[in-house]
Structure 1
Amino acid sequence: MRRIDHTKTPLFTALKEHMNKDVIPFHVPGHKYGRGNPELLEFFGENTMKADVNGMEDLDNACNPISVIKEAEEYVADAFGAEEAFFLVNGTTSGIQAMIMSAVRPGEQIIIPRNAHKSTIGGIILAGAIPIYVPSEINEELGIAMGVSAAVIKKALEVHDFAKAVFVVNPTYYGAVSDLKTIVRSAHRNGTAVLVDEAHGAHMHFHDEFPLTAMEVGADMSACSTHKTGGSLTQSSVLLLRGNMIEKEVVKQVLNLNFTTSASYLLMASIDTSRKLMATKGEEMLTETLELCRYARKRLNEIEGVYAFGRELVGTPGCFDFDETKLGIHVRRLGITGFEMEKILRKEYNIQVEMSDIYNIMAIITLGDRKEDIDKLVDAVADIAKKRGVHEVKNIVYMPDMPELIVSPRDAFYSPKRAVPLEECAGHICAEMIMAYPPGIPIICPGERLTKDIIDYVKLLKEEECQMQGTADPYVNYIRVLGRSVGE
């Protein structure tokens, strides 16, 4: 196998060479290097508009790459320790759905943790798969879902030994990492493929102080959001494959079902350059990133009433390892919710965090962060804490129990539906997803029975003005359930 020179960028270089040729464009996109949209040209600049081109001989074609895109994908596979890699321009959502559709056929089972992203449910619906949900561990003090226990996965494989795939999140949104190596071993002994959502772990392969990745422990496929933590443009991701449990040709066929025939060269070139960056300078840059993370936690934990959780969680249920770039800040003792904290930071201090929940806010620290920005965040949290003071916390909100699956997600998706007021939904079978976004983890999925606890939890999130998604009613006053309306 030829040695790859990661200082090179096959696709990005070809794109720049194409731009320098000043080819007269009688092809889409219709803005023709921006001349057809002067306002956009003025704002984004000539290079951006000239780089927004379509597939042609010197630039290859993403749907069937044979030259520079194929070469760039080979570079990605080598950098991430995979055997094959595929560019994605519809985010890791498309990669997760492609993994499930490649590994599981209609009617076959997939073992999946309850805290999986909504795209996983979409993949299950598209594949016609039957989900076997397993509980994630819950840290009740922090009020967050952690990883899934390897023992829980092993037990599920014993009960459902015909399951075609196990799905794992590595790491979770909050940074918790499951014992992925043990999970892979258990699954492979059963002849079951392992699919890994590494949307928030694209950086982990490039520094030894981060948890092991899916490819490093022998998982079959993973999807990585290079745009989240690897430096590429929003919506760009990669799908990684190794081993022979899932055929490359099957993956390509699945991707071509929903892959755009007009893949953005801006997005693909950004993957090419971010791969170069991570492969050549990733270790050095991530060392600085880790220093910032540790500096931030140290300062935050000196603030009374604030807890920035981190590696001390390793060894607790559901946390085999921890990704330190996920800066979770627990604010319950300040007498405010994470939702309120996020709003205060944005409106009064001009700081936007990644997400919030009832008790926490979460900031993601990446290659692009600076010490002065960390100081502004810490100083803002300290100022808020000083104004709020420390409160004795009595009421703890627990997440509702995992609901009962009555109908397969696909059957629920295609069944007749009717809208029912939220207060009257208990006992009905849900026909849509309900989730807080971010992180996009469903509270309930299609085919599951609604309970009073779930309804009360949704009401609480609404009261806190949390952003809710997944329902036909944008205000979540009505939920679609299975069954026909009167008169149908």
Structure 2
Amino acid sequence: MSQEKAPIYEALEQFRRMRIVPFDVPGHKHGRGNPELVNLLGSQCVSIDVNSMKPLDNLCHPVSVIKEAEQLAAEAFGAAGAFLMVGGTTSSVQTMILTCCKKGDKIILPRNVHRSVINALVLCGATPIYVNPDVDNRLGISLGMKLEQVEKAIQENPDAVAVFVNNPTYYGICSNLREIVKLAHDRNMKVLVDEAHGTHFYFGEGFPVNAMDAGADMASVSMHKSGGSLTQSSFLLIGKNMHPGYVRQIINLTQTTSASYLLLSSLDISRRNLALRGKESFQRVAELAEYARTEINRIGGYYAFGNELINQDSIYDFDPTKLSVHTLEIGLAGIEVYDILRDDYDIQIEFGDIGNMLAYLSIGDRKQEVERLVSALADIKRRYQKDKTGMLTQEYLSPQVVMTPQESFYSEKESLPVEKTEGRICGEFVMCYPPGIPILAPGEKITGQIIEYILYAKDKGCSMTGPEDEKIENLNVVKGE
């Protein structure tokens, strides 16, 4: 197949030229019924915001241009099959778990997963077997899964149906994916990989191994992050041992029947761009990130970490495009630097937590923007540096799992002030977003350390999400437990 083709985009362009009179949805009728929408997005955009029809195929059951686009994606990513996803990588992750797990099944996974993983466990009723990752005590961040930890979990839970792996973590850290796949497959377990931040692993040299090359069974690839497509668009990749028809049925349980052709065409075009130009594009990104790390570390106080962390175990590899920066040595939490950059310097970075910040670099970045970021960080150090005494350092807190996520989420609950929940079982999620890794998940015991962390993160200005109480003053806990 020719990777120069973009069948969905080409079909939309042909549709636009036909000047079809619309008596279907969407109701804005190519923008005529909503001029403010046209002013915002432009006539070219709204004119191809259309409904599924025979010439444009149907995402629920593709037979023509969408099917061809998925075949091109599978070839570009080296997968046996690919699915265009319009519910974000959240929907891809949930499909992976719902495909492999049902109520009562066990799945082995690290605890520092995105909330979408635990959401899927709430839906299907599977039991998580957590491999608690090591923590880098200096940086306060969770690392990858050690092989010995994975092997131990597999030996103790031979009836588990799957192993779930982050590749990479938000901070760029990778586990030994090839060996984890071998361990799991030797016990007939599927391997599911969250590659939300690893699209570029499929294009170029010098990157950690991607899931398909490592032999994984399914992988969720967030094209809208480093791949350049529109927000909310993603690919789900499958290996040769997965049944594509069944996977499609699982996707259709939760994914919309009114897929946006803006998202679909952006996936199509972005796949073509990466297939044709991805190798050189991501080489430039890696070089830009290395330049940024060098310049930030010259400032002093900050620590932009990279592949010097690799230990061939809990940090088996590192994503060279990640610009993760430890900020505590200048007396500021990552979220405080995040806020200052936005409010004082008009620079929006990806996220800040209590010890680190992440500036997301990808194919759209240029050296001049990186130099502006470096200059701002130097100025922030000069203006705002203070003593770090009394600042929390730990990002990851090992959970005490008491109930399954499904059992606790659907149990009878009561609402209590956060400060009075110690010793109780949480019935909802609490997390900073981004990155969306739960501090607390349904079924976990609330400890004094967790309460301290929640209150501290709120005080520092982290964006807290998850609880029913939007002010995060109360938590829902399992009644009577």
**Same fold at TM > 0.5:** yes
In 1, Cα distance between equivalents of 2:90 and 2:464: 18
In 2, Cα distance between equivalents of 1:394 and 1:451: 20
Aligned residue type for 1:100: I
Q: Secondary structure at the match of 1:229?
A: helix
1:304–1:390 CA contact under 8 A, matched in 2: no
Aligned residue type for 2:473: N
Return the offset for 1:395. 5.1
Deviation by residue 1:185-205 (Cα, 9 ceiling, x = unmatched): 000001100000000111111
Aligned residue type for 2:280: E
Q: 1:401 to 1:308 in 2, by over 3 A?
A: closer
- The match for 2:117 among 116, 120, 123 is 120
- The match for 1:407 among 389, 403, 406 is 403
In 1, Cα distance between equivalents of 2:222 and 2:103: 27
Q: Find the counterpart in structure 1 of residue 478 from structure 2.
A: 482
In 2, Cα distance between equivalents of 1:400 and 1:255: 32
- The match for 1:88 among 85, 88, 92 is 85
- The match for 2:275 among 275, 279, 301 is 279
- The match for 1:63 among 36, 60, 68 is 60
Q: Find the counterpart in structure 2 of residue 307 from structure 1.
A: 303
- The match for 1:230 among 227, 232, 250 is 227
Return the offset for 1:399. 4.5
Structure-2-length-normalised TM-score: 0.98
- Give runs of aligned pairs for residues 204-215 of structure 1, distance below 5 A: 204-215=201-212
Q: Find the counterpart in structure 1 of residue 382 from structure 2.
A: 386
Are residues 1:461 and 2:473 paired? no
Are residues 1:328 and 2:335 paired? no
Q: Secondary structure at the match of 2:299?
A: coil
- The match for 1:168 among 149, 165, 168 is 165
Return the offset for 1:387. 2.5
Identity over the aligned pairs, expressed in percent?
45
Return the offset for 1:131. 0.6
Aligned residue type for 1:347: D
- Give runs of aligned pairs for residues 134-153 of structure 1, distance below 5 A: 134-153=131-150
Deviation by residue 1:20-71 (Cα, 9 ceiling, x = unmatched): 1110000000000000101111221111011100110100000000000000
Q: Find the counterpart in structure 2 of residue 270 from structure 1.
A: 266
In 1, Cα distance between equivalents of 2:190 and 2:65: 31
In 2, Cα distance between equivalents of 1:414 and 1:389: 46
Q: 1:316 to 1:455 in 2, by over 3 A?
A: farther
Alignment gaps of 5+ in structure 2: none
Are residues 1:448 and 2:435 paired? no
Q: Find the counterpart in structure 1 of residue 357 from structure 2.
A: 361
In 2, Cα distance between equivalents of 1:42 and 1:289: 33
Structure-1-length-normalised TM-score: 0.96
Q: Find the counterpart in structure 1 of residue 96 from structure 2.
A: 99
Q: Find the counterpart in structure 2 of residue 259 from structure 1.
A: 255
In 1, Cα distance between equivalents of 2:469 and 2:39: 38
Q: 1:392 to 1:37 in 2, by over 3 A?
A: closer
1:400–1:453 CA contact under 8 A, matched in 2: no
1:150–1:180 CA contact under 8 A, matched in 2: no
Q: Find the counterpart in structure 1 of residue 6 from structure 2.
A: 9
Q: Find the counterpart in structure 1 of residue 314 from structure 2.
A: 318
Mean Cα deviation higher: 64-73 or 394-403: 394-403
2:332–2:388 CA contact under 8 A, matched in 1: no
Mean Cα deviation higher: 41-50 or 309-318: 309-318
In 2, Cα distance between equivalents of 1:461 and 1:43: 36
1:400–1:457 CA contact under 8 A, matched in 2: no
Q: 1:421 to 1:388 in 2, by over 3 A?
A: closer
Q: 1:317 to 1:398 in 2, by over 3 A?
A: farther
Return the offset for 1:415. 1.0
Q: Secondary structure at the match of 1:285?
A: helix
Q: Find the counterpart in structure 2 of residue 25 from structure 1.
A: 22
